[in-house]
Structure 1
Amino acid sequence: MTNSTKLAPAPVVDETVRLLTEHYVFPEIAEQLADLLRRRLAEGAYGVDDAEELARLVTADLQSVNGDRHLRLKHHADPVPAKQDGATLQAMRRDFDTSLGGAPRVQLLDGGVAVVELAPMLFPLEWAAEPLGAALTLASRARALIVDLRANRGGDPDTVAFVCSHLLDERTHLNTMHWRGGERREQSWSLPYVPGERFGGSKPLYVLTSDSSFSAAEELAYDLQQLGRAVVVGESTRGGAHPCKGWTVHPHLEVTVPFGRAVNPVSGTNWEGVGVQPDVPCAAADALDRAHALALARLAG
């Protein structure tokens, strides 16, 4: 076994089925997937004693109906807390402490073009407001700005709104979350006030993406693109538009289940399954140079 904790697949699969049927944003698909997992368990498809292998097998089945990449059984090499979202928060905190709070690079390029890299994720706003506010304030004096999301795997929608608030002039409707059942909705707006200086809503803005950009990083790119505020440069993103929660079902396994779906007020849809499509497609490795060249040309014009 990869982990020392004994693995019994049946209780893990049974609890995954329970969480799926109780919380998944699409109840009909939840029932289909629950039937699939029960059948596969009865057939012996999950008869493994390795937690990482079980996570791979179950995740493949969870994503087999509608390709929802937020729906998964995640393996963690280190034991994870038993409380809800404990594993996610534990891993987030490690990444936060080693990435300067999620803004590992602020750089000034030739021609007065700034780069702010937001990676590896958009951390909870109560953690990230200070470091992100500092990075964006520092870049606010630039003539043009490039926001690099190529290595960003997602995070907090409130942090998306915080970043957007630095890049817009007026309070703006960004997104609406539709929760399971369809009756409860929650709008996301840019903020009327930000600490420090705004880059604002008129200077050239570019957002870099890759095929690894995911979830909240995709929302940031999509919101700014749909508003006509930013030019997205790079690759199509992974395509995950459903916010999710996590539950520990084994000391090394966490089930993540989406409980809502995003609807953009401009497009009336989202990026689920298709990803954010760049305005200027190019290889992710070339995106920074391409955006810098576009910014310089626009400034010169």
Structure 2
Amino acid sequence: MLLLTIWPLFALICLGFVLSRRGFPDAGFWPAAERINYFVLFPALLVRNLAGAPLDDPAILRLGGAMVAVILMAFAALSLIRLVRPMPAARFGPTVQGVIRFNTYLGLAVTSALTGPAGLERAAVCLAIGVPLVNVLSIMALTEGSAFRNPRLMLRTVFANPLILACIVGIALALLGTGLPFGIESFLTLIAQASLPLGLLCVGAALRPSALGQDGLALTGTLALRLLAMPALAWLIAGLIGLGTTETLVLTVFAAIPTAPTAYVLTRQLGGDGTYMAGLITAQTMAAVVTIPVMLALLGLA
């Protein structure tokens, strides 16, 4: 049943891959589509869902705390592994991103398919907390922490992210209790409806199978950490904190999905190993069609 629910999402990813490889509609379409989704459509989706989120609900607060715990524990574990097996920042940065970052389009799409509007609100809260945190940790890993010696670089990189800005706006509206007046909610809803399908198509267009021919052992190890160990860790923390069924499912889904395609852009910008990062994105996205339903079933969430 779970596989029947999520296979259309991966079918969209496959369709995006096939269309882009055939040059349809043309080579310039996919970068433009990704930009309009990243800067306009997806931020609208976040604002729309965060503006009405019940931020005073204790379950929401526990979910946010659990999200932080999962990310920080994973980062700490990777840092300890690096002490045993040293690697340069150019490799450590992609490895960190391959474990702690998440594909926001796929996460919201899976959550929406499994839980409906209530889960979507909670997923938006996860993004509001998780996106800034994973960006800061990723920059730290790629720069050996030198970004802290240049606060302007850190702030510029983090707050140039439209998803972070959208989360700030959405949370501010929720705290003010003003909602989205004057038909703005309907306007954002119309825009947001295009975001997830277009985002999944763009995920497929960004896949780079040619990058899978290198670093097979490293790709496999990082894939196992991201797609198998992370959802198990999330499920464990959810149980320890006492999250409800919906919150546990949302947290586990965001831990079980592959890393974000935008990790490649940050890796290239900060001098990381772009080929390795492209391989991580591609390998995880291809494997996730199997690992997501398997892990959710094994953890009793299917």
Greater relative contact order (Cα 8 A, min sep 6): structure 1 or 2?
Answer: 2
TM-score range, shorter chain: under 0.3
Counting helix residues as a fraction of each chain, which structure ranks higher? 2
Larger radius of gyration: 1
Counting strand residues as a fraction of each chain, which structure ranks higher? 1
TM-score (norm 1): 0.26
